[in-house]
Chain A
Amino acid sequence: MMTMGFGRTLRYQREADPAWADGVRRLPGCEALFRCLQCGTCSGACPLAIYMDFTPRRIVALVREGFHDDALACQTIWLCASCYACAVHCPQQIQITDLMYSLKREAIRRGLYPKRLPIPVLAQEFFRMVERRGRSSEFWLVLRMALRTNPLVLFSMIRTGWQLLRTGRLSLRRERIDRLEQLRRELAAAREAG
């Protein structure tokens, strides 16, 4: 790796991990990875591309060459809101949304994300809440996310919170399903099977 004076990074083949790329290609939705034309239609369709450090087209390029450090440690995968615009426009039918999901999963599994970045923290808190109760409760979810990332952000939410409360849209109830044990057993079985 070589960092240039103006912040760009150069990489060479020996830093790549083609076996990792091949593993990604085997995931559901990512089969067409190596057929990418680099046409950039995905980046053109993506409403979030202008906020990303790597556009979706560049992510595909990085992944298929096996540059996993860049693909897993970037902001792009967290900005992807799963809107599927890239996936329906891709002339090669690469399910880029699924590719982004697979990168998110690996980044979370390997702890390769900024610890206070709200998006992966929200995903984890959501996951735990549903595992514990079978349903999510928006208010408690946002509270937990804020406490784990930046509690000061709660101040900026007071006004919106009050407006939601006033219009009967802020539920403080902690929802749960009746057959929770059954769901937990199933989730455990699914994890074992995976």
Chain B
Amino acid sequence: MPAGRYLYFPGCSLRATGVAYEESLRALFERLQLRLEELADWNCCGATSYMAIDEGAAFLLSARNLSLARQQDERCDLVAPCSACYLVLRKTQDYAVRYPEIRRRLDQSLASASLTPLDSVKVRHPLEVIYNDVGLEEVRSRVVNRWRGGRLACYYGCQVVRPYEEVDRPHNPRRMDELLEAVGVPTVEFALKTKCCGGSLTGTIPEVGLRLNYILLKEAARKGAEAIVTLCPLCQFNLDAYQDQIGRQSGEPLDMPVLYFTQVLGWALGAPPEKLGLERSISGRDLIRRWFSVRSPREAYV
């Protein structure tokens, strides 16, 4: 693999509600001298919806992306920051190996449009790329800005840590905590770190979806966290954009920042704050401005 170069699969969310994730990911990778090269003409991963309608079509969507990756640069790993994208790509590979029938169908359908047959491309998540390819020591040695914000709750959600265990341990993941602690950011022990945010339930059955996120936000606060840190655009969106509605439904107003781990790491390693998408947060904006603004303490605390 060429050192520090990765193919990049943004997925649909990172071009819309999750745009701050893409901005901060790029800024962070730049600080770490890692290059992201976008996968040309990538298609939607199908998320959970395709699997609920047509399994063959769901696997095909990912197989096409994997084939494109192989064609574009077979020496590079494919980085997928969104949990849904990551899981569907990994699951397609796994099931194509375990079920020869699935693989045969995929090879057949792909060949019909003259793409290379499905082959092993290493699918990665940026958390694990930074943890494994850069390493805690290297990250620690590159700290530029000293953290002056509060304690954070690291929230891993579902599909990045389950059912595949390559990004972190499924039952008690710690890598995000370790990376943040390495750059001097205090984290809290957050027992609900892998409890699902409900995905699209906030939009389809709000009574249920909002309550799941209410539980996560309240528990983070109870553990002493002033903000939640996420690694998925859907988790961030649910926890950040619905706090208003959660407050109205529960009768308990909330205003807690929900950040991407790439924003916090990027800031600590000296990426320019204006490149981290911090202004795109909806909840906890005052706290975010105070924590991440310019270095002069006088300006930072007005």
A4 interfacial contact with B, CB 8 Å: no
A137 interfacial contact with B, CB 8 Å: yes
* Complex alpha-carbon distance, A164 and B195, angstroms: 25
Contacts of A168 in B (CB 8 A): 19, 280
Q: Given the interface contacts A28-B102, A87-B162, does A101 sit within 8 Å of B55 by beta carbon?
A: yes
CB pair A81 B282 closer than 8 Å: no
Contacts of B112 in A (CB 8 A): 185-186, 189
CB pair B50 A79 closer than 8 Å: no
Helix, strand, loop or mixed for chain A's interface?
Answer: helix
Which residue of the partner chain, among A104, A160, A169, A183, contacts B43 with CB atoms under 8 Å? Answer: A183
Which residues of chain B (139-166) have a CB below 8 Å from chain A?
Answer: 157-159, 162-163
Contacts of A156 in B (CB 8 A): 206, 245
Contacts of A105 in B (CB 8 A): 52-55
Which residues of chain B (252-293) have a CB below 8 Å from chain A?
Answer: 279-282
Q: For residue A131, which residue of chain B has the nearest CB?
A: B57
A82 interfacial contact with B, CB 8 Å: yes
Which residue of the partner chain, among A88, A123, A130, A138, contacts B162 with CB atoms under 8 Å? Answer: A88
Minimum Cβ distance to chain A for residue B287 (Å): 16
Contacts of B54 in A (CB 8 A): 105, 127, 190-191, 194
CB pair B64 A186 closer than 8 Å: yes
A8 interfacial contact with B, CB 8 Å: no
CB pair A191 B56 closer than 8 Å: yes
Which residue of A83, A101, A139, A164 has the most chain B CB atoms within 10 A of its CB atom? A83
CB pair A83 B204 closer than 8 Å: no
Interface size range on A against B: 35 or more
CB pair A101 B279 closer than 8 Å: no
CB pair A190 B56 closer than 8 Å: yes
* Complex alpha-carbon distance, A182 and B63, angstroms: 13
Contacts of B19 in A (CB 8 A): 168-169, 171
Which residues of chain B (198-228) have a CB below 8 Å from chain A?
Answer: 198-201, 203-206, 208, 212
CB pair B95 A186 closer than 8 Å: no
CB pair B208 A190 closer than 8 Å: no
A92 interfacial contact with B, CB 8 Å: no
Contacts of B49 in A (CB 8 A): 122-123, 126-127
Mask, B42-77, CB within 8 Å of A = 1, is: 111011111111111101110010000000000000
A/B interface sample: 15 pairs, CB < 8 A? A81-B196, A83-B162, A85-B162, A87-B162, A88-B170, A101-B55, A105-B53, A138-B17, A163-B282, A167-B280, A167-B282, A169-B20, A186-B60, A186-B64, A194-B55
List residues of A whose CB falls within 8 A of some B CB: 28, 47-48, 51, 79, 81-85, 87-88, 95, 97, 101, 104-105, 108, 118-120, 122-124, 126-127, 130, 134-139, 142, 145, 156, 159-160, 163-164, 167-171, 175, 177-179, 182-183, 185-187, 189-191, 193-194
